[in-house]
Amino acid sequence: MVLPNHETATGDIEIADGRISALALHEVANPKRLVLPGLVNCHGHTSMTLVRGLGGGLPLDRWLNEAIFPVEAKMTPADVRAGMAWGVVEMLAGGTTTVADMYDFPWDCIDVLKETGMRGRVCRVGLSFVPGRLEEAIEYTRRENISSASVGNLLTAVDLGLHSEYLTDENYCRGLAEANCELKRPVNVHVSETEREHAECIKRHGKTPIAYLADLGVFDYGGYAAHCVWCTDDDFRIMAEKKVSLVHNPSSNLKLGSGIARISRALELGVNVALGTDGCASNDDLDMFEEMRLAALLAKGAARDPSVLPAWDVLDMATVRGAKALGMDDVGEIAVGKRADLCVVDLDRPHLLPALDVANLVVYSMKAADVVQTIVDGRVLYDRGSYPTIDIAKARAEFQAAVGRIGL
């Protein structure tokens, strides 16, 4: 098992009331399983399983406007629910126990999380051009979280969301920041994904997206910003000060030709860095092992230095740093007292032998398909092809019907 402080051990894990109650450490000859903390996907549009691969080869602006937005306009709440459920199926099979999701009809998305038992955060997408959207987002966030003063470690919760600087105006951002003085929620946002987006924000406001949003108070209660490919050193300093985590999406950034985020520099300047898959149309899967491998390789290749971004740091980005990004202090580690969110991998695979260096093995050799069991809050949600909380036949039929209904 992988323990905090980059230690490993063999033995047994005892679970009671959703928490790790004891670790019985003892020698095991030739262990056949590796237990990792559950993987935390800090940026997803999970229902985009419905449009997996759509618009391939287009840059971000054309991809959104020509391929994605026209199809999304046809989606009903039932379609989104079906796409969300199928994404949960994929993530659980790959050891992901938590997702931070940004998509339309978040109440349907969170219902899927509650029904399946997966841990997650959702938000109402912030868009200035939709009448009443700000008021709706504020009320939804207040209503969903009202049952608890501290929602950090609940299975599901609602955060505030802004799609981006370029799809919101100053009034929207100020209104959200003002409401958040009461709600005190982190803000989920896309930031500086492309060079053009970054430059046009500077042209409009005389500031980078991070600086602009910070000056409007959007990050007064922290947040998690996806992409950050073109962020400056000053942006990173602001993020560190405001406790805004950077969510690295290497597959999506490469497929859309957006560039390579300066992860090592962000870490040097004190930014918490997590990992995300983004949606299935710009990735095109929800495999967090793939994101770990790409993050590590990109950093080394860009720096021309194999010592950059060690494997343990990348594993932290997919687990404990991801939990930190979402304000969850009870998950992301295998330790007594923590919530029992676990990913169990079969080590008896040709590409996983010998297991000489656990972190290196996880980051560079493991695949989502190597996962044999996924546990969330002490409940087994995936077990060698079976899903105790999901009717797979029904989920598949509803997913295929939704794909057909939206004309794909």
- Going from the N-terminus, what domains does the chain have, and what CATH number goes with each? 2-28 (no CATH), 35-383 (3.20.20.140)
Q: Say what the pLDDT of residue 152 is.
A: 64
Place of tokens 């997966």: 118
Q: Is 91 in a helix, a strand, or coil? A: helix
Q: Say what the pLDDT of residue 249 is.
A: 98
Mean pLDDT of residues grouped by 10 in the chain (408 residues)?
Answer: 96 97 94 97 98 92 92 96 98 98 97 97 96 96 73 85 97 98 96 97 98 98 98 98 98 96 98 97 96 98 97 98 96 97 97 95 98 98 98 98 93
Q: Say what the pLDDT of residue 105 is.
A: 96
Residues 6 or more apart whose Cβ sits within 8 Å of residue 362:
2, 34, 36, 289, 292, 311, 315, 345
H/E stretch holding 46: none
Q: Say what the pLDDT of residue 408 is.
A: 81
Q: Say what the pLDDT of residue 147 is.
A: 53
Strand ranges across the sheet with 156-162: 39-44, 96-102, 119-124, 156-162, 187-191, 223-227, 244-248, 273-275
Q: Say what the pLDDT of residue 145 is.
A: 84
Q: Model pTM greater than 0.75?
A: yes
